[in-house]
């Protein structure tokens, strides 16, 4: 039976999931919008961030260090990927980019499986954020409430970087017209490396933030990748505000549908995506740009 308490609880669950999806999608959309690379390894990098944070948490017992480790590890991995592999595929067909990033995703999953095994790993939230909170009309896990705040801060930092710095100006110009940015004498490839690193850091940060909510497994990135692509399509490719809006919509759809019938959660999510494509092919907040 659906009660007001259950309904509100699912709304909060959807908000937490939506915020997380928004953060992951923001990294994916700025990478694709700027570099034109559809990174199928983004979900695997989310998973790597979770495991890197787990290793740091096991070694130190500090969740803050786990956040830093997960974020920086995946950021460095992203920079290494771009420098060594991805930059050689900018002028290659899209199919080649899909294949190489898909292959990298498989490699990351199997390396993690070799190091940590296939058994689930759990990360407990810091004591300050553990337990439940009385919201007056219901009790709700404190950490899930904290996830919304943590992700909101991370998205605010990304917003400042994208909209209040010279780098952000170049990135947004590159999304609209990378050739023009290059013709202005700006080292586009250096910008590409930084953008790929920032997008990867967003995935790694989300991976460790999500670890106390959902146990870690080597396959945890696969489902989140599918959801993230749907978020990008709904919000609009290359649109940072669109990634946030799409994430919140997707989170609520999955959560509220799961309350009625979990088996139809993804059905409704893809139905919403299809509806958006029919009405606005470039997404809710997307614009005509990169094909």
Cβ–Cβ under 8 Å, residues 290 and 38: no
Gap between the Cα atoms of 241 and 232, Å rounded: 10
Going from the C-alpha of 266 to that of each of 10, 138, 231, the distances in angstroms are: 16, 27, 12
pLDDT band at 175, cuts 50/70/90?
Answer: low
Cβ–Cβ under 8 Å, residues 214 and 221: no
The mean-pLDDT minimum among 21-25, 42-46, 183-187 falls in 183-187
Going from the C-alpha of 231 to that of each of 223, 244, 247, 252, 273, the distances in angstroms are: 13, 8, 5, 12, 8
Mention every residue, 6+ apart, whose C-beta is less than 8 A from residue 157.
none
Q: Does the global pTM surpass 0.85?
A: yes
Give the residue with greater pLDDT, 110 vs 190: 110
Over range 77-93, report the average pLDDT. 91
Sign, CA dihedral 215-18-275-46, equals negative
Cβ–Cβ under 8 Å, residues 175 and 288: no
Over range 169-188, report the average pLDDT. 73
């Amino acid at each position: 039976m659906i009660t007001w308490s259950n309904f509100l609880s699912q709304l909060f669950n959807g908000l937490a999931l939506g915020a997380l999806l928004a953060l992951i999608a923001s990294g994916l959309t700025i990478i694709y919008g700027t570099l034109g690379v559809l990174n199928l390894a983004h979900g695997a990098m989310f998973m790597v961030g979770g495991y890197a944070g787990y290793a740091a948490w096991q070694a130190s017992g500090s969740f803050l260090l786990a956040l830093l480790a997960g974020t920086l590890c995946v950021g460095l991995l992203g920079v290494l990927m771009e420098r060594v592999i991805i930059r050689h595929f900018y002028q290659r067909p899209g199919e080649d980019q899909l294949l190489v990033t898909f292959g990298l995703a498989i490699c990351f999953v199997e390396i993690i499986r070799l190091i940590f095994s296939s058994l689930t790993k759990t990360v407990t939230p810091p004591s300050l954020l553990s337990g439940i909170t009385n919201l007056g009309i219901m009790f709700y896990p404190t950490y899930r409430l904290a996830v919304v705040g943590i992700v909101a801060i991370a998205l605010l930092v990304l917003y400042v970087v994208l909209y209040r710095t010279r780098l952000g100006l170049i990135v947004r110009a590159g999304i609209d017209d990378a050739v023009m940015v290059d013709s202005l004498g700006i080292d586009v490839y250096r910008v590409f490396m930084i953008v790929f690193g920032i997008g990867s850091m967003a995935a790694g940060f989300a991976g460790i933030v999500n670890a106390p909510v959902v146990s870690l497994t080597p396959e945890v990135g696969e489902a989140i990748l599918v959801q993230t692509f749907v978020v990008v399509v709904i919000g609009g490719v290359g649109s940072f505000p669109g990634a946030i809006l799409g994430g919140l919509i997707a989170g609520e759809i999955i959560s509220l549908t799961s309350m009625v019938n979990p088996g139809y959660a993804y059905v409704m999510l893809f139905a919403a995506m299809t509806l958006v494509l029919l009405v606005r092919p470039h997404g809710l907040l997307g614009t005509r740009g990169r094909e």
